[in-house]
Chain A
Amino acid sequence: MATENGTRKANIIMRLSEFEMPPMQDVLIVGKRAPIGPDAAKRMVDVVSPEQYKIIKIDHPMIEAVVIRKILLNILEEEKLLEVIMEEGGKIANDYSIIKAQINITLEVSKSLSYD
Chain B
Amino acid sequence: MIRQVSDIMDKNFLTIQALDCVSVIRNLATENKLEYFPVYEDNSIIGVVTYKELIIAHPNRIAADAMTTDFVCIKAYMPVWEVKDLFEQQKVNCCVVVDNNLVVGIVTPLVLKIELGKHIDLLTGLYKNDYLFFNAGELLKSQNDISVVFIDIDNFGIIDKEYGHIFGDKVLKEIALTLNAAIPKKTFLCRFGGDEFVLLVPFKAEVAKKVTENLLSVIAAKAFSNGLKITVSAGISGGKRSNRRITDIYSTVSNLINIASLACTEAKKSDNSLCIKLGEESDIA
Contact = CB atoms under 8 A, between A and B. Distances in A.
Interface of A: 33-40, 43, 96
Interface stretch (B25-33, B62-70, B163-171, B212-220): B62-70
B64 A37 contact: yes
B123 to A, nearest CB: 45
B56 interface: yes
Interface residues of B, number: 12
B60 interface: yes
Interface string B236-249: 00000000000000
Contacts of A96: 58
26 contacts: A33-B56, A33-B57, A33-B58, A34-B58, A35-B61, A36-B60, A36-B61, A36-B65, A37-B58, A37-B61, A37-B62, A37-B65, A37-B66, A38-B65, A39-B18, A39-B62, A39-B64, A39-B65, A40-B61, A40-B62, A40-B64, A40-B65, A43-B19, A43-B62, A43-B64, A96-B58
B105 to A, nearest CB: 26
Nearest to A34: B58
A64 to B, nearest CB: 9
A43 B18 CA distance: 11
A67 to B, nearest CB: 11
Contacts of A33: 56-58
Interface of B: 18-19, 56-62, 64-66
Q: Is the interface of A mostly helix, strand, loop or mixed?
A: loop
Nearest to B58: A35
Contacts of B58: 33-35, 37, 96
Contacts of B59: 35
Contacts of B66: 37
A55 to B, nearest CB: 10
A31 to B, nearest CB: 9
A40 B19 CA distance: 8
A8 B59 CA distance: 38
Most chain A CB within a 10 A radius of its CB, from B57, B58, B59:
B58
Given A33-B58, A40-B64, 13 more contacts: A34-B58, A35-B58, A35-B60, A36-B60, A36-B61, A36-B65, A37-B57, A37-B66, A38-B65, A39-B64, A39-B65, A40-B62, A43-B62
A60 to B, nearest CB: 16
A37 B58 CA distance: 9
